[in-house]
A = this chain, B = another copy of it.
Amino acid sequence: MKRYERLAAEIAGYIDSGAMKPGDRLPSVRQICVSRGVSASTVFKAYYLLEARGIIRARERSGYYVTSGPEPRAARGLAVPLPNAVKTGDVGDLPFKVIESSRLRDIVPFGSAFPSPLLFPLARLGRAMVNVSQHVDPWRSVTDMSPGNAELRQHIALRYVADGIHVHPDDLVITNGALDALDLCLQAVTKPGDCVAVESPAFYGALQALKRHGLRAVEVPTHPSEGIDVKALERIVAIHRPTACWIMPNFQNPLGSSMPDAKKQALVALLADKGIPLIEDDVYGELYFGRQRPLPAKAFDRHGLVLHCSSFSKCLAPGYRIGWAAPGRYLQDVIRLKLGSSLGTSVPVQAALAEYLNRSGFDKHLRQLRQTLLANRDTMLAAIARHLPAGTVVLRPEGGYFLWVQLPEGIDAIALHRRALAAGVSIAPGPIFCPHHGFRHCIRLNYGHPWTPRAEAAMETLGQLIAAGLTGDVDHIAA
């Protein structure tokens, strides 16, 4: 147990014993420093830990006060606040097992990270590919290396401009899907051993990337509907001085949360103030159910510090592996990392997407896709209400295709994953989204596939398994 954890435990014991009552003001950080002979940072971390547990709360310019205990679940939403200790991003084998199960056509894909490939205009894309394959300019293998096909970059930039965001074609680098873009951006702004602030829970791909590059993750409490806690991030920045921050502001995976614009603006301003680059994963941005596309954090970037990444994989062309980065002031670094690691992105595929975007049809496809996903969302929510037991909590996301489901306390998502898979149903267990395997009673469900009698039966099966009260063991997810 670290010093700040010991200090936090002592204070918690003191409050538990009744020596301090709800509403009592805690000693100032300075007082504790003097009385205990510890550093301000230790006190700050201890207080933050207690705050994260809901035992104390900060009031602006006034100090910390004892709360009346952790808030009731409904009020604080689903995000389980976590101690912000720095952890390695190791989440073991489990994410790969979840990906593996996506390949199996006889498994109901609630755990899949991908929407149904049947939702995409593959025939039209195929025709675009046919068109560009009939008259090939041989020199494209050279000219379309990183940063990539100029026409495609222009189409992508135009979509930003249509949303009022200033992105020039020359600000973009085409990548092998968004994962590649994120990976390159991460390499551009960090070095091994650095600390990166991530959401809690986080996209497991982010945790894996941190692990690949020898980085440490520091988790930032994240609200299930409004996204990352910017005030918490500010304290974490002060304590851990992360080198970068990796966030998914729109329809976050796995929560489905979306940051309001004002919060995005505050996030960008905070990080700009500290000179910390923000890696923004916006792959679900086009899958909104509201009236307009939510702005990316990039829209508020005044200093070139937002490395914005997205792709066509979730909204147009799964399997084509075409994504992009708008890396701001890190553009040249990202272009060179891309040249050095794979020269560029497949030339015919870049050309085919540019050709598809040249014709009208993308927006119509997107409208249909959003309608389908919206209908699927409500169908799955209704099925959850029918089959999952009382005590299950789920929020209604405004975009994307994931539901974050908090099961009754004591249910073990890892054990549920194993039993469900044996019964032909995949789910994504909460612990894969967390470096220390938290969120054990949470699961992520995918509503991006057509609702069928098999899906209905699968939900019923999940309900039965949960009702049987799975408590499981943890050994098999050890890293």
A103-B142, A144-B319 known; A192-B214 Cβ under 8 A:
yes
CA–CA, A126 to B179, complex, Å? 28
A127 within 8 A of partner (CB): yes
* Contacts beyond the supplied A125-B136, A141-B318, A176-B342: 9 A-B pairs with Cβ under 8 Å: A99-B145, A114-B142, A129-B133, A177-B342, A192-B193, A212-B337, A319-B344, A346-B346, A348-B352
Whether A343 contacts B179 by the Cβ 8 Å rule is: yes
Does A18 belong to the interface (CB within 8 Å)? no
CB pairs A–B below 8 angstroms (25 shown): A114-B142, A126-B134, A126-B135, A126-B136, A127-B133, A129-B129, A129-B133, A129-B348, A130-B133, A141-B319, A142-B319, A176-B176, A176-B321, A176-B342, A177-B342, A179-B342, A183-B341, A192-B214, A209-B341, A214-B214, A319-B344, A320-B347, A321-B345, A321-B346, A348-B352
A138 x B126 contact (CB < 8 A):
no
* B contact residues around A135 at 8 Å (CB): 126
State whether A141 and B114 are in contact (beta carbons under 8 Å apart), knowing that A212-B187, A349-B346 are contacts in the complex.
yes
- Write out the residue numbers on chain B whose beta carbons fall within 8 Å of the beta carbon of A125: 136
List A residues 327-357 near B (Cβ within 8 Å): 336-337, 339-349, 352
- A-B pairs with lowest CB-CB distance, top 7: A141-B319, A319-B347, A117-B138, A141-B318, A129-B133, A192-B192, A126-B133
Q: Is A120 part of the binding interface, using a Cβ–Cβ cutoff of 8 Å? A: yes
Task: Return chain B residues, CB-CB under 8 Å to A349.
Answer: 346, 348-349
User: What's the least CB distance linking A448 to chain B, in Å?
Assistant: 12
Most chain B beta-carbon neighbours within 10 Å: one of A114, A344, A349: A349
Select one of B102, B133, B183 contacting A133, CB under 8 A. B133
* In the bound complex, CA of A340 to CA of B130 (Å): 30
Give which listed residue, B114, B130, B140, contacts A319 with CB less than 8 A.
B140
With an 8 A cutoff between CB atoms, is A225 at the interface?
no
Residues of B within 8 A of A105 (CB): 139
Asked if A96 lies at the interface with its beta carbon under 8 angstroms from chain B, I say yes
Cβ contacts under 8 Å, A144 to chain B: 319
Protomer copies: 2
- How far apart sit A170 and B463, CA to CA, in the bound complex (Å)? 38
Q: Cβ of A191 < 8 Å from any Cβ of B?
A: yes
Point out the residues of chain B lying under 8 angstroms from A114, CB to CB.
141-142
Contacts of A208 in B (CB 8 A): 340
A40 at the interface (CB under 8 A from B): no
A131, B250: Cα distance in complex, Å = 38
Count residues of chain A with CB under 8 A from any CB of chain B. Answer: 61
- Distance in Å from the Cβ of A331 to the closest Cβ of chain B? 13
A320 cross-chain contacts in B, Cβ below 8 A: 346-348
Closest to A105 in B: B139
Assess whether A205 is interfacial by the CB under 8 Å rule: yes
A286 adjacent to chain B (CB < 8 Å):
no
Q: Which B residue sits closest to A209, measured CB to CB?
A: B340
Docked complex: A94-109 residues within 8 A CB-CB of B: 96, 99, 102-103, 105
Least CB distance, A410 to chain B, in whole angstroms? 32
A1 within 8 A of B: no
Q: A74 contacts the other chain (Cβ, under 8 Å)?
A: no
